[in-house]
Chain A
Amino acid sequence: MGISMVKITLNEGAGGEAMQKFIKDLVSRIELKKTPDGSGLDKLEDAGILKIGDTNIALTTDTYTVNPIFFPGGDIGKLAFCGTVNDLAVMGAQPLALSLAFVIEDGMEKKDVERIMDSINEQSKLSGIPIITGDTKVVEKGKVDKIIINTAGIGVVKYDVSNYWAKPGNIMIVSGSVGDHGLSLLAKRFGFESKLESDCTCLWNVIKELIKIDGIYSMKDPTRGGLAACLNEIAKKSNVGIYVREENIPVKAEAKVIGETLGVDPLQTACEGRLVLSVDRYSVDKIMKILKKFNQDTSIIGEVKETPKGKVIIETLSGGKRFLESPIGEAYPRIC
């Protein structure tokens, strides 16, 4: 083949298999992927780790583009702050500080930018995490849709946890109903009357409590691609088989109905404030107690087995068993 004419499509950003492949291809072009003592792009985890003295530092960055920018349960500012805090927290790192960068479209209402800024401020105060640097660019009309936000975060690793470490015998837990974020946004976009709200939350407060307990092997916040993509990533990276029971996976009644109507599976739809954990069975009770304090819907959804390696098996509501696949692409872009 001559010059490649392949174009990037929205699928390459949707959090499913297409995005995984695209990112792998891109990352392969970077030769220096980590510091000598750390882990980095080679692992494709939520944050890279580098060593300064005896301290392990976690560093992460994420960019947010969402439509609509104000949605039930949050806005792009809250999303950008919490998303980056969560990427650090699920690495067992205590977030120290964030950076904040805006790309704003010419003509955007100033009061909307201020509202976003206030929302970020609120989250920053709630979690006690400061924003210590930033950047703002304004671009011509039509070059971005209203606003794109980038945040980076730095934290100190307090607990060793990795999505490569789920072990056969571990119990899988999800810390609340899944799909709320994606489905509440879709409901708004399609003009459905719905009380469903995004689950967008900073997870550091929960994780701060969790890391006092031994026995957590892997911890991840399902975002794009939802629970399905998250479980598949853990199964692949840990080279284990994950078994889940659909009847134990919490999905809100409204999310079910909106999902059915639009043909979107809540299990494959974005969350923004949930945790998926694989934990030692002797620690389950303690961990469940903490998680339930924050969210009553927390549920044990299944367990980790030796095989089939790299795969997730779901026992459906009707009792049949099949693979739970990562979503392929996303019919609805720009959810987070």
Chain B
Amino acid sequence: MQFILRDRRDVEKILKKIEKINPSYDITIMEVCGSHSQTISKFALRSLLPKNIHLISGPGCPVCVTPARNIDIALEMAKNKDVIITTFGDAYRLPGTNGSLAEMKNVKIIYSLEESVELARKNPDKHIVHLAMGFETTSPSTAVEILENQDLDNFHIISSHRLIPPAMEFLVKGNNNIDAFICPGHVSAIIGSKPYEKLAKVYKKPSVVSGFEPVDVFLATYMILEQLTTNDIKVEIEYDRAVRPEGNVVALNKLKEVFDVEDANWRGLGVIEKSGFVLKKKFEKFDALKIFDVEVGESVDIKPGCKCGDIMKGLAKPTDCPHFKRGCTPQRPVGPCMVSVEGACNVAYRYGY
């Protein structure tokens, strides 16, 4: 297998085109997908771009934006010996207000949600509570499991599922240093490119859906520069081998069937209007928050000194944080962005910034 979209000769060709149309002023482009953060750092793409073009990471890692409160609730539920908490590995060390799931015994790491459902079927005397997180990419698989297992009474979720476009709008409303967006490839495979229209039309931010190889990211960068220099601001799809403007209609329908969209808290960003997936009333028995009467105190999303909030808003770099690589490491994360391999601080820790 060849990874052709990484080849330096192709990269150099696009870089030449970028240099040709590069205006002299500073341009800040935000990506909102952890896989983009990884590509950019792993292939050291920043080191190749002209100095006035800045690639920054936004709130593109679902683990990072999951509120501490949801972890606190899961930890409280995990004290009940009739409960098994399931989570994907990348959220295992996500700190709540006090501690993470890594410290509890009845927590199981799963690789696919089917395993969690399977666990519920095999353990009818236990309640399986899945910490469901992720954007529009992973939310449909949660929806499908719920639709297909309506006979189950012992499978529940704590939904931290979030919608990306409202967060992008929230950011441009509050932060004027973002000039354009590299829109997420996987999320857009589900939602299509239409939900970004407002960013282009109302907020005048070029928005290009990009794939995950170095050539993709640079091509998207080029398309953004072209829009800016010709003042023709719009939504475009670079990742056309996977994304259609209308998205994945089947998946979108499943989402509509299972979830309502409500205002939701994003760790480090605060409450964002109409940005969270909540189970519809008729699926209430799957909602762990409705089934278990769990009290937790005040939750703390961001610990003193931690800059994860500003980092996800594009106002700070991981290296600006006093905890980075000192008190905060992937083994013992202080802030949420250090936990998952998609988190901006974790990526910067592994590949440098």
Please list the residues of chain A having a beta carbon within 8 angstroms of any beta carbon in chain B.
9, 11, 18, 247, 253, 256-257, 263, 314, 316-323, 325, 328-329, 331
Give 5 pairs: A residue, B residue, CB < 8 Å, sorted on A: A317-B214, A318-B7, A318-B8, A319-B8, A328-B330
Interface of B is mostly: helix
Q: Are A316 and B42 in contact (CB under 8 A)?
A: yes
Task: Say which one of B44-52, B114-122, B199-207 lies at the interface with A.
Answer: B44-52
Find out whether the CB atom of B44 lies under 8 angstroms from the CB atom of A316: yes
B351 contacts which chain A residues (CB < 8 A)?
A: 322-323, 325
Q: A253-B1, A317-B6, A328-B331 are in contact. Are A323 and B48 (CB under 8 A)?
A: no
Q: Once the chains bind, are B47 and A256 in contact (CB under 8 Å)?
A: no
A317 to B42, CA, bound (A): 10
Q: Using Cβ atoms and an 8 Å threshold, which residues of chain B touch A321?
A: 44, 47
Let me know if A329 and B330 touch, CB within 8 A.
Answer: yes
Q: Which residues of A contact B12 (CB under 8 A)?
A: 319
Which residues of B does A touch, CB under 8 Å?
A: 1, 3, 6-8, 11-12, 41-48, 89, 214-215, 329-331, 341, 349-352
A314 to B350, CA, bound (A): 13
Q: Please indicate the chain A residues that have their CB under 8 angstroms from the CB of B341 in the complex.
A: 263
A322 with B44: CB separation less than 8 A: yes
Q: Could you tell me the distance between the alpha carbons of A257 and B1 in the complex, rounded to whole angstroms?
A: 7
Of chain B, the residue at the smallest CB distance from A245 is B8
Whole-angstrom CA separation of A229 from B344 in the bound complex: 22
Q: Which residues of chain B come closer than 8 Å to A11, judged between CB atoms? A: 331
Complex Cα spacing A314 to B41, Å? 12
Report the Cα distance A318→B331, complex, angstroms: 30
Given contacts A18-B331, A318-B7, A318-B8, 10 further A-B contacts (CB under 8 A): A247-B8, A253-B1, A318-B44, A319-B11, A320-B43, A321-B47, A322-B41, A322-B352, A325-B350, A325-B352
Chain B residue at minimum C-beta to C-beta distance from A11: B331
Known contacts A256-B1, A328-B329, A328-B349; A322 and B47 CB within 8 A of each other: yes
Interface centre among B12, B45, B331 (most CB of A within 10 A): B331
Contact A320 B352 (CB under 8 A): no
For the complex, what is the distance from the CA of A247 to the CA of B349, rounded to whole Å? Answer: 23
Q: Are A320 and B46 touching (Cβ within 8 A)?
A: yes
Instruction: Pick the contact of B350: A9, A247, A316, A328 (CB < 8 A).
Output: A328
- A320 CB contact (under 8 Å) in B45, B329, B330, B331: B45
- B47 cross-chain contacts in A, Cβ below 8 A: 320-322
Known: A9-B331, A328-B329, A328-B331. A318 touches B352 (CB 8 A): no
Q: How far is the CA of A328 from the CA of B346 in the complex (A)?
A: 10
Tell which of A257, A319, A325, A331 has the most Cβ of chain B within 10 Å. Answer: A319
* B7 touching A317, Cβ below 8 Å: yes
Q: Which residue of B lies closest to A316 (CB)?
A: B43
Min CB–CB distance B6 → chain A (angstroms): 4
| CA A317 to CA B3, docked complex, whole Å | 10
Would B43 and A318 count as touching, CB distance under 8 A? yes
- Give Cα A143–Cα B214 distance, bound, in whole angstroms: 47
Q: How far is the CA of A257 from the CA of B42 in the complex (A)?
A: 16
For the complex formed, measure the closest distance between the CB of A311 and the CB atoms of chain B, giving whole angstroms: 10
The interface residues of chain A lying within 8 Å CB-to-CB of B331 are 9, 11, 18, 328-329
Q: Which residue of B lies closest to A268 (CB)?
A: B350
| A316 and B42 alpha carbons, distance in the complex (Å) | 8
Closest chain B CB from A33 CB (angstroms): 27
Q: Report how far A247 CA is from B3 CA in the complex, Å.
A: 12
The residues of B that contact A331 with a CB separation of less than 8 Å are: 89
Residue of B nearest to A6 (CB): B332
B11 in contact with A318 (CB, 8 Å): yes
Residues on A with beta carbons closer than 8 Å to the beta carbon of B41: 322
Q: Which residues of B have CB within 8 Å of A257? A: 1
With both beta carbons as reference points, the residue of chain B lying nearest to A322 in the complex is identified as: B44
Taking the nearest CB of chain A, how far is it from the CB of B29, in angstroms? Answer: 16
- Of the candidates B7, B46, B352, the one having the most CB atoms from chain A within 10 angstroms of its own CB is B352
